[in-house]
């Protein structure tokens, strides 16, 4: 049994896989299993994975039909052997001390989850920044505390790929794996984190993970479709936090309402035909909740109050245009 299992969902990632795999092989911690879980790729992803697996016995390849990132991760979990479990994206890279640092933190603090900083690289502009901005050390020691730091704007983010987990923190009480929701393809990792059994978490701000923001993504489809799916996932996060402390519920609600804000802006700016026409009634229902949210800071409320007339005017203008020119289409 390996000490660490790293699970990578793969879809049409042939161009990125070799650098990722090399960054794992170049770790200064060698006791790992790398699980490459293909999700029905039609490019050369399988050829790359099979070639690399023949060269390195630590690499395991699993395959399945194209059902999305959640299903691919679940297939990876099914064959994961490690005491510790991590998740990577197929087009990202690790610093050489990623594993050794995360394992050391888990063992030193007897933690369920170790989280590191990451470098965010924007493909289009080449701009780089470092996230998140948390202080190092033990963050929280109970479930609500972990949820609080996952949801906070200055917390350690609702993603799984800059974290290493103790195996037991991702398993149900009966010993089965806690599955990713196969219906979710966006914000699926945030929803998963909130269902995990993580209580004690530790953080290092050292940027050990390199995440690239791509200009396009074949798995996501059109922009408003993606944002709409994201909003449904954020709604699930609100529901999951219903039994948490009031401030945690407020943070979850704020995440949801910021999703509404994003959808408002994208709907107005993108103008994607009948999709936007269908979205307008939904946007209208949630607009009042967004601007009146008790979870938002005074600064956020002021910003939304300033922009509210412009957003409402644009919504009315866009809605009138679409109803006039797109009725009867789609």
Domain locations along the chain: 4-213, 223-325
Q: What is the pLDDT of residue 268?
A: 60
Q: Judge whether residue 158 has pLDDT over 60.
A: yes
Q: How confident is the model at residue 37 (pLDDT cuts 50, 70, 90)?
A: very high
pLDDT, one tens digit per residue, over 119-143 is: 988 887 778 887 766 666 667 678 8
Q: Judge whether residue 280 has pLDDT over 60.
A: no
Integer angstrom CA distances of residue 236 from 41, 198, 259, 289: 29, 18, 12, 17
What CATH number is given for 4-213 in this structure? Answer: 3.90.550.10
E strand or H helix at 140: strand 137-141
Q: Judge whether residue 50 has pLDDT over 90.
A: yes
Q: Judge whether residue 302 has pLDDT over 50.
A: yes
Q: How confident is the model at residue 220 (pLDDT cuts 50, 70, 90)?
A: very low
Per DSSP, the residues of 273-318 read HHHHHHHHHHHHHHHHHHHT-TTS-HHHHHHHHHHHHHHHHHHHHH
Looking at every residue in the chain, the average pLDDT score rounds to: 82
Q: Judge whether residue 178 has pLDDT over 60.
A: yes
**Distance (Å, whole) CA 164 – CA 166:** 7
**Model-level pTM greater than 0.75?**
yes
In the block, residue with structure tokens 């007339």: 309
The mean-pLDDT minimum among 67-71, 94-98, 240-244, 308-312 falls in 308-312
Q: What is the pLDDT of residue 72?
A: 97
Contact call for residues 98 and 208 (beta carbons, < 8 A): yes
State in Å, rounded, how far the first CA of the chain is from the last one: 54
Integer angstrom CA distances of residue 276 from 33, 228, 315: 45, 11, 10
């Amino acid at each position: 049994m390996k000490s660490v299992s790293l699970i990578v969902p793969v879809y049409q990632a042939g161009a990125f896989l070799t650098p990722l795999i090399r960054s794992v092989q170049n770790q200064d911690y060698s006791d790992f299993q790398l699980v490459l879980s293909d999700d029905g790729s039609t490019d050369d992803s399988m050829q790359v994975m099979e070639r690399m697996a023949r060269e390195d016995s630590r690499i395991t390849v699993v395959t399945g039909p194209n059902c999305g990132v959640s299903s691919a991760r679940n297939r990876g979990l099914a064959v994961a052997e490690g005491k510790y479990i991590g998740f990577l994206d197929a087009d990202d890279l690790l610093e050489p001390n990623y594993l050794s640092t995360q394992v050391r933190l888990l063992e030193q603090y007897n933690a369920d989850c170790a989280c590191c900083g990451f470098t965010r690289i924007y493909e289009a502009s080449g701009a780089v920044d470092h996230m998140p901005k948390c202080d190092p050390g033990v963050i929280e020691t109970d479930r609500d505390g972990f949820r609080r730091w996952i949801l906070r704007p200055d917390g350690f983010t609702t993603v799984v790929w800059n974290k290493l987990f103790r195996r037991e923190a991702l398993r149900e009480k009966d010993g089965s794996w806690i599955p990713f929701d196969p219906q979710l393809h966006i914000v699926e990792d945030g929803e998963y984190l909130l269902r995990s059994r993580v209580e004690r978490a530790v953080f290092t701000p050292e940027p050990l993970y390199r995440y690239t923001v791509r200009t396009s993504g074949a798995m996501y489809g059109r922009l408003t479709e993606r944002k709409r799916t994201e909003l449904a996932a954020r709604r699930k996060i609100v529901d999951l936090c219903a039994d948490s402390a009031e401030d945690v519920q407020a943070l979850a609600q704020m995440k949801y309402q910021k999703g509404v804000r994003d959808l408002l802006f994208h709907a107005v700016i993108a103008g994607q035909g009948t999709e936007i026409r269908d979205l307008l009634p939904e946007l209208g229902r949630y607009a009042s909740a967004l601007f009146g949210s008790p979870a938002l800071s005074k600064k956020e409320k002021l910003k939304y109050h300033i922009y509210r007339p412009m957003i409402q005017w644009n919504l009315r203008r866009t809605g009138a245009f679409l109803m006039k020119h797109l009725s009867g289409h789609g």
